[in-house]
Amino acid sequence: MAILAVISLIGGILALLNPFAATIAAVLLAGWTFLLLGVIQIVQAFSVKEWPGFLWALLFGILTTVVGIVLLFDPLAGTVSLTFLVAVLFLFTGAVKIMYSFSLRPIAGWGWVLASGIVSFALGLMILASFPWSATAVLGILLAVELISNGVLFLLIAFGLRQL
């Protein structure tokens, strides 16, 4: 577990040092994932042709495969579209968390939900405010934060396991 922690922490630090390269890496990883999922979906659709949802499953597989191919062959365009998607996701989840917090108002801790919603919404606005230039770094920074967070988690688990 400690080895995973070190690898994840190093990867996160490297991603922070070069967010553009990390962004491209994230887009390429997403591209390969979409391509693989699309091919699997197409194979699965043909394995159950008699199923009433065959055509929909096949179309979904084709669409997913095309998205993967586009991301792999034009990762710069992929960074723009995925960054825009992340910004919209932050805006919507932020708005939902803000509204949800007010429904929790009599419950202790509702303010944390409100704060989380405000942060999500603000992040979405910040990404859109500098769009499309934000596309060069946002995904890489998010990847770096995730890798560092996982590295810390793995390190804490490793220390905990060592004490057992």
Write out pLDDT tens, residues 88-106: 999 999 999 999 999 988 8
| Whether the predicted pLDDT of 164 surpasses 70 | no
Judge whether 27 lies within some domain: yes
Judge whether 164 lies within some domain: no
User: What's the pTM?
Assistant: 0.75
Of 132, 146, 26, 22, which is closest to residue 84 (Cα–Cα)?
A: 132
| Whether the predicted pLDDT of 3 surpasses 70 | yes
Segments forming the whole domain that contains residue 30? 2-158
Residue 95 is predicted with a pLDDT of 95
- Residue 109 — pLDDT band, cuts 50, 70, 90? confident
Judge whether 104 lies within some domain: yes
Judge whether 55 lies within some domain: yes
Is residue 38 within 8 A of residue 65, CB to CB? The reply is: yes
Residue 107 is predicted with a pLDDT of 85
Judge whether 163 lies within some domain: no
In order of 116, 131, 133, 138, the CA distances from 128 in angstroms are 19, 5, 9, 11
Q: How many domains does the chain have?
A: 1
Residue 121 is predicted with a pLDDT of 94
Rounded Cα distance between 88 and 57, Å, is 27
